[in-house]
Amino acid sequence: MKNDKKLDFLSNIDLNAVGAISALLDITDHTPVENNIINNIVDLLSKCLLYAAKKTFGEYSQAPVNNVEKCPKRPSFDNNCNTSRKTFHNSHRKFLSNKSDVNRKKCYMLEIVQEAV
């Protein structure tokens, strides 16, 4: 399987682009090289390899992000309600891990505030 992909990748490389890159490299052998010539060679090489890779392995597409609001059917559920629920659940989790009187009072007080909202 790996060898098949390797052979596909090698066969998908554009030989005309490789020839153009080779010609540009031959020109730069005996003359001082400028930055724009080097940038041009690097761009051609990267385009050639990326094209072969996309053709061989395909493109990766990221999964769409779900931008659904939290509880859109309840207009009373705003940011204030959301943060108070988070703090209540955090204190309740803390109380369950360490059942001390201090954590019990914090959890109970937040529960009363939660019911009032």
Residue 9 lies inside a defined structural domain of this protein:
yes
Residues 47 and 83 in one domain: no
Domain that holds residue 6: 2-57
Residues 52 and 85 in one domain: no
pLDDT digits (tens, 9 = 90+) for 22-31: 888 887 777 7
Which of these, 56, 48, 52, lies nearest to 4 by C-alpha position?
56
Tokens 């596909």 found at: 8
User: What residue type is assigned to position 101 of the chain?
Assistant: D
How many domains are contained in the chain?
Answer: 2
pLDDT digits (tens, 9 = 90+) for 32-88: 778 888 888 899 999 999 999 999 888 888 777 766 666 566 666 677 777 878 888
Residues 44 and 83 in one domain: no
d(CA 40, CA 21): 9
Residue 73 lies inside a defined structural domain of this protein:
no
Residue 63 lies inside a defined structural domain of this protein:
no
Residue 11 lies inside a defined structural domain of this protein:
yes
User: What residue type is assigned to position 31 of the chain?
Assistant: T
Which of these, 59, 47, 48, 54, lies nearest to 15 by C-alpha position?
48
